[in-house]
Amino acid sequence: MYRRENYTHRIYSALEIPMNPDETVNEENLRRLVEYELSQGVEGFYCSGSSGEALLLTLEEREKVLEILLDQVRGRVPVIPQIGTIRTKDVIELAKHAAELGVEAVSMIPPYYYQFTMEEIIGYYRDVLEAVPGLGIIVYNIPQFTGIEFSKENAHGLLELPGIVGVKHTSRNLYSMERMKAAYPELILFNGFDEQFAGSLAMGADAAIGTTVNVFAPLFLEIRSLFEAGKVQAALEKQAELNRRVEILCRCGIFSGVKYILTKRGIDCGDCRRPFGQLREEAKKALDQIV
């Protein structure tokens, strides 16, 4: 059963998944990566999201990744699997699997590609809630990938559903995030864009889930600590430090770039799955500046 206090006020790594050269999941290095990130101060893991190449994994692989992660974490921090995909039956399968493993809360992208109506999207979330009672669901708002931007106005029928416990807000519209928070204060609002972390705190974010947390967790912890101490200017200066790194990563390809940095730090994460391409040499040289 979902308990809010287990999930709020945390910085989560949107966990990258180490791959072998044949594109199979590298279980040994996934376990090593978890331990490395915990040692860096990571306070939770979000798996099989965009950073985890979820839509390039089979359902069986997504289930296996969650099993490995939970086994390695051993309850030290919360784990939130992203179970969304286009087919409701598949999402329900992943939801039931997560619940059987003891997961309290999952996250779901909305169904994509067919330009579903909001009524159909709400039905998709409702179907999962009814199939797995007691499981908390965090709506994944990532319009640049799904084409769907959730807001207080268009998603009130979704956000009011019993069992919807939060929103992962990977949108640059912080006003919309603040308005959702004001209307639904019981929901946990997770900032999803690392480059606006400090700004999201000012607008009421309760937690953060980020790709670059994989490699820069101490910076996130420092930004939050400074902000909460009222040292806003110092927090913004640290945010600028983070953003200089994010800028290079975005220019090179953020998911592949983070894997490259982790590999340089001693945990071979391989390449992202095709159709992602391999990093060019000039990109590696740029990333070497921030390793």
How many C-beta neighbours within 10 Å does residue 61 have?
A: 16
Give the integer Cα–Cα distance in Å for 115 and 81: 24
Place of tokens 């480059």: 195
Cα 278 to Cα 56: distance, rounded to the nearest angstrom: 16
Which positions are catalytic? 140, 168
With a CB cutoff of 8 Å and minimum separation 6, the contacts of 105 are 2, 7, 78, 80, 135, 136, 137, 138, 165, 166
Rounded CA-CA distance 192/49 in Å is 11
CA distance 97 to 86: 18
Amino acid identity, position 185:
P
The angle, 0 to 180 degrees and rounded to 10, between the axes of the packed helices 232-252 and 213-228 is 160
